[in-house]
Amino acid sequence: MALDVSTLLLPDLREMLQEKDREGLREFCEALHPATVADLLRTLPPEEAWLVLSHTSPQRQAEIFQYLPEAYQHEMINVAPRERLAAIIEAMDPDDRVDLLKSLDEELMEAILPLVARAEREDIRRLLQYPENSVGAVMTTDYVALPEDMTVGAALEQIRLLAPDRETIYYIYVVDKHRHLVGVATLRQLILARPQATLADIMTKDLIKVRVHEDKEKAAHILARYDLLALPVVDGEGRLVGIVTHDDVMDVLVEAATEDVHRLGGIEPLEESYLESPMLTVAWKRGTWLAILFAAELGTRHVLEWGEPIFQQLFLLYAFLPLIMSSGGNSGSQSATLITRALALGQLSPRDWWRVLWRESAMGTLLGVMLGALAVLEALIEADHALRLVPVVASTLAVVVLCGTLIGSLLPLVLRAFGMDPGIASSPFVASIMDVISTLVLVSVAHVVLVLSG
């Protein structure tokens, strides 16, 4: 396994550094996968990392640099000569270098940019302008675009020239004189075609593409759906402006899933990894939701005080309250989780509300009756002093579980229909709503039973 190899190499690396083994260090930088080199480099102090990197070309340095975690990149930037930094930035992939520059403070960025070659600088400024979550923010401009009247033979010749600095040469985008995207050909198609054919003859015209201002998650789902290596990006006039590659899409999908998971757990999504997030940021992202949920939960207190006379008559009823609340909250959490995830995967849309309503009504009734029956069973087994409360508890449970499934399932749909994030309907949020509702139901049912029993 590559990861195990890397720890084995660490003593070798230290030795080469100590002995100033120039040839060994060059080979270390060039023979291993850049991600493996990066895994080893980050264990060194940043100054030594620069020393190791100085044994290879700026192109290779940039490849390795791209695999370092952001925090370590910043450490290296802080101790680097500006010119060396500029050379690496020039050699980095357009999308990765823009991500890096965005993470620096404005002042440092403006100090480095003038040192970068003009063509690269303009590319950077162009990419910097796209909003955070748009396709433009994850696309790269290192693609192969060729004219439609070029022959396959000439195209292969051209690709050979472009290969060293294009992110992918496996998809060739075909454009007209005004850079409008008119087709796509794969390198596989080119290899199989007659050299005299033109690109227009062999290209696929059923284009799967995305607009530069659309949501990056949408691009990710399209690329995944069509099993592509890269997705072409066009501007409002249909001109090719970039491509989104499969590796960036994978990152987008994993990041989006993390955001959804965090929201479901009642936290504003963290941007960095758990151990790397600053404590105060985490405290803020957790504290806000804890306070909101606390405020929602104050409702239970008022309902309970309002129901005080009932509880004084049926004193031990309050002992069942947590059981009832948690059952309502759990069934609600389950429904909210299922619906939110189905929405995120595009398997469901708010238009399906009636199918959801039907499924969850049936599910809620089934599960509610089951839990009610469990409560009766438990009371019979224990045969304790609370036996006379059983009708109240069992029927409350059934109603509360049904309410849970309905609220948990419809809330995310309503939020999405109003253009909001369905993830707001997190497990803790639904549980808080259900606590208030459960209390109301319990007090009402108890009231009815007390009146009926005279």
Chain positions 292 to 321 lying near a copy of itself, rule: CB under 8 A, are 293-294, 297-298, 300-301, 304-305, 308, 311-312, 315-316, 318-321
Please list every residue from 94 through 153 that binds a copy of itself, using CB under 8 A.
none
Please give the backbone phi and psi of residue 198, each rounded to the nearest 5 degrees, phi first: -95, 165
Q: Judge contact between 329 and 404, C-beta under 8 A.
A: yes
Smallest gap, in angstroms, from Cβ of residue 282 to a copy of itself?
Answer: 7
User: What separation in angstroms does the CA of 178 have from each of 174, 233, 426?
Assistant: 11, 15, 48
Nearer to a copy of itself, 116 or 256 (CB): 256
Please list every residue from 408 through 437 that binds a copy of itself, using CB under 8 A.
427-428, 431-432, 435
Could you tell me which of 300, 289, 361 has the C-alpha nearest to residue 326? Answer: 300
| DSSP class of 250 | H
Q: Judge contact between 174 and 162, C-beta under 8 A.
A: no
Could you tell me which of 28, 30, 56 has the C-alpha nearest to residue 40? Answer: 28
Please list every residue from 12 through 51 that binds a copy of itself, using CB under 8 A.
31-33, 35-36
- Binding a copy of itself (rule: CB under 8 A), the pick from 106, 107, 227, 237 is 227
Interaction between residue 336 and a copy of itself (CB under 8 A): yes
Nearer to a copy of itself, 48 or 268 (CB): 268
Site string for a copy of itself, 432-451 (x = CB under 8 A): x--x---x------------
Nearer to a copy of itself, 208 or 387 (CB): 208
Structure tokens at 104: 């620096």
- Binding a copy of itself (rule: CB under 8 A), the pick from 119, 275, 383, 452 is 275
Segment interacting with a copy of itself (CB under 8 A) among 110-118, 120-128, 157-165, 410-418: 157-165
Segment interacting with a copy of itself (CB under 8 A) among 12-20, 47-55, 73-81, 247-255: 247-255
- Binding a copy of itself (rule: CB under 8 A), the pick from 242, 329, 412, 422 is 329
Number of residues that bind a copy of itself (CB under 8 A): 115
Please list every residue from 353 through 372 that binds a copy of itself, using CB under 8 A.
355, 359, 362-363, 366-367, 370-371
Smallest gap, in angstroms, from Cβ of residue 448 to a copy of itself?
Answer: 21
Q: How far apart are CA 211 and CA 365, in angstroms?
A: 45
Nearer to a copy of itself, 14 or 286 (CB): 286
Q: Judge contact between 190 and 156, C-beta under 8 A.
A: yes
Contacts of 70 by beta carbon, 8 Å cutoff, 6+ apart = 100, 103, 272
Could you tell me which of 410, 133, 416, 72 has the C-alpha nearest to residue 269? Answer: 133
Nearer to a copy of itself, 46 or 329 (CB): 329
- Binding a copy of itself (rule: CB under 8 A), the pick from 7, 103, 281, 347 is 347
Nearer to a copy of itself, 112 or 173 (CB): 173
Smallest gap, in angstroms, from Cβ of residue 108 to a copy of itself?
Answer: 27
Q: What CA dihedral angle connects 189, 190, 196 and 197, to 10 degrees?
A: 40
Contacts of 134 by beta carbon, 8 Å cutoff, 6+ apart = 212, 213, 214, 215, 216
Could you tell me which of 253, 277, 248 has the C-alpha nearest to residue 71? Answer: 277
SS3 (DSSP) at 182: strand
Q: Specify which residues 186 forms β-bridges with.
A: 171
CA within 13 Å, CB half, 86: 15
Please list every residue from 200 through 219 that binds a copy of itself, using CB under 8 A.
204-210
- Binding a copy of itself (rule: CB under 8 A), the pick from 146, 212, 241, 348 is 348
Smallest gap, in angstroms, from Cβ of residue 127 to a copy of itself?
Answer: 19
Nearer to a copy of itself, 42 or 209 (CB): 209
